[in-house]
Amino acid sequence: MSTNKLVNKVVIAGGGTAGWMAAATISATIGRRLDVTLIESDAIPTVGVGEATVPSLLTIHQLLKIHEADFLEATNATYKLGIMFENWTRLNHKYFHSFGNSGMSCWAAGFHHFWVRAQQQKMAKDYADYSLETLAAEKGKFAHMQDPNLNYAYHLDSSKYGQFLRGIAEKHGVKRVEGKIDNVNLDPQSGHIESIRMESGQVIDGDLFIDCTGFRSLLLGEALGVGYNDWSEMLPANAAYAVQTQSHRPAVPYTRSIALDAGWRWQIPLQHRVGNGVVFSTNFKSEQSALDDLLQGIDGEPITDPRLIRFTTGQRKEFWHKNCVSVGLSSGFIEPLESTSIHLIQQAIIWLISLFPTDGIDTNQVNRFNQQMTVETETIRDFIVLHYHLQERDDHEFWRYLREMKVSDRLQQILNLFQNNGTIVEEQDDLFAENSWVQVMMGQGLIPKQYHPIVDMMGDRDLNMFMRQQENVVQQTVSRLPSHTQFIQHFLNQP
């Protein structure tokens, strides 16, 4: 499937977060030698959710030379230190998945090994007490810090973020065409996309097409017929209701994820409002019941009408096919539990730039891209499945089904290794590092039976001191931090 047609003209179809992030990043990095056009329709709204992120967003912001204060102001963003999972393990239980490392310093084995031994000897506090991000989140505090470091991401207004990225893209010469796509024209011989015909009659040709048309997947799915791997059996959620509310209390620096009888709901605090939603499976819960859950759970007056969004969890069989690369929802959707979609958008863009087919599309580039995106998506999928699978809830068929279902061999191996002796084997392509897996597995009730033998090199007294020291550092550091909202105001008002 190699072509030696040079790639000069890039056409991005769709102007949601995926489209504008692709346009901004490509134009700001390799755009000088390219002609980049983005097509979007004012009549077809973006999905309008996607407001919680993970720390990797900071990397793309660095690449785009985004000044944090400009971004916070333009998107009404707040800081996010992690996710509070409520009622996931069992009712009236909660735990925090923070972005940081628990235990400030590590000695030979992961901190959780020390914690397991200390806990067996009744010298340990809750695992969360050794996490800076968790305590800061619980106390509603935040600041930029270096040593120790506070790891963070953002909550942002998705439509404002799209506009913000559009500004960057247009500054770097991206042309915007407004209107509805009417048809995707294929070359009869090669099967490559030749051009896009707009309803206005305008024809936009290109060498490389990036499909950012959201769930419609107009180019890769519809025109090129690339199939879909359906993951509904292990991730049965297939719908969400979303509504925005006024905020009437200070924004907390974390996302709330509250498990329901059959599904869960989110709360994402921004500077000016709160994003709320409920995620559910229509096989286990009616739309009306999900809507009732959402409206009963909100904390403030709605400022939008609740909106129903349907989806099928899974991923396209290929992310790059012929001369079309899909980025964003057009390539698949896991589900929003760990706020990973924007991260996957970034990864697709970064990999596309790394493998950019300047001198023509080559099978090796296409295969490498597809392998990479498949692995990254599947590792995230396993992490999400973990939350649903590892729990003790017995109050609804939904949870019983998820607990009893078969998970991937990889996830089963991770669970077995951890259960036996706390082992986590970090994988290079996994967004979630050791402490994420530890926090979620222990948060969901799986405590290792044994710890690594190297921990026994430390005597009881030293271990006790070590644990206290870790806890003290966390407490003292957090006590010096300003409140989250004070920090944002101060940061935005800096000259």
Q: Are strands 193-198 and 181-186 parallel, antiparallel or unpaired?
A: antiparallel
Say whether 306 sits in a helix, a strand or coil: coil
Name which position in 76, 78, 134, 213 contacts ligand FAD (CB under 6 A).
Answer: 213
Q: Which stretch binds ligand FAD (CB under 6 A): 50-58, 145-153, 285-293, 426-434?
A: 50-58
Q: How far apart are CA 463 and CA 441, in angstroms?
A: 23
At residue 449, φ and ψ (nearest 5 deg) are -75, -30
CB of 2 to ligand FAD, least distance (A): 28
Q: Is 309 in the site for ligand FAD (CB under 6 A)?
A: yes
CB of 279 to ligand FAD, least distance (A): 6
Which pair of structure tokens corresponds to residue 431? 């967004």
Q: Is 47 in the site for ligand FAD (CB under 6 A)?
A: yes
Question: Do 396 and 247 touch, CB atoms closer than 8 A?
Answer: no
CA dihedral 302, 242, 488, 99 (to 10 degrees): 150
Enumerate residues 167-206 that contact ligand FAD by CB under 6 A.
180-181
Q: Is 258 in the site for ligand FAD (CB under 6 A)?
A: no
Please name the helix (run of DSSP H) or strand (run of DSSP E) that holds residue 181, with its range, or none. strand 181-186
**Partners of residue 196 on adjacent β-strands:** 184, 204
Q: Which stretch binds ligand FAD (CB under 6 A): 38-46, 143-151, 379-387, 404-412?
A: 38-46
Q: Is 403 in the site for ligand FAD (CB under 6 A)?
A: no
Q: Which stretch binds ligand FAD (CB under 6 A): 140-148, 285-293, 337-345, 377-385?
A: 337-345
**Cβ closest to ligand FAD, residue 156 vs residue 390:** 156
Q: If you count them, how many residues does the chain have?
A: 495
Integer CA distances (angstroms), 285 to 237, 259, 410, in order: 10, 13, 30
**Cβ closest to ligand FAD, residue 119 vs residue 339:** 339
Q: Is 332 in the site for ligand FAD (CB under 6 A)?
A: no
CB of 338 to ligand FAD, least distance (A): 8
User: Count residues contacting ligand FAD (CB under 6 A)?
Assistant: 38
Classify residue 243 as left (phi > 0), alpha (psi -120 to 50) or beta: beta
CB of 51 to ligand FAD, least distance (A): 5
HSE value, Cβ hemisphere, 13 Å, CA-based, for 241: 25
Name which position in 78, 339, 372, 444 contacts ligand FAD (CB under 6 A).
Answer: 339
Q: Which stretch binds ligand FAD (CB under 6 A): 26-34, 246-254, 339-347, 363-371?
A: 339-347
Say whether 179 sits in a helix, a strand or coil: coil
Question: Do 236 and 65 touch, CB atoms closer than 8 A?
Answer: no
Binding site for ligand FAD (CB under 6 A): 14-19, 39-41, 44, 46-47, 49-53, 158, 180-181, 212-214, 216, 218, 240, 242, 277, 309, 311, 328-330, 336, 339, 341-342, 345
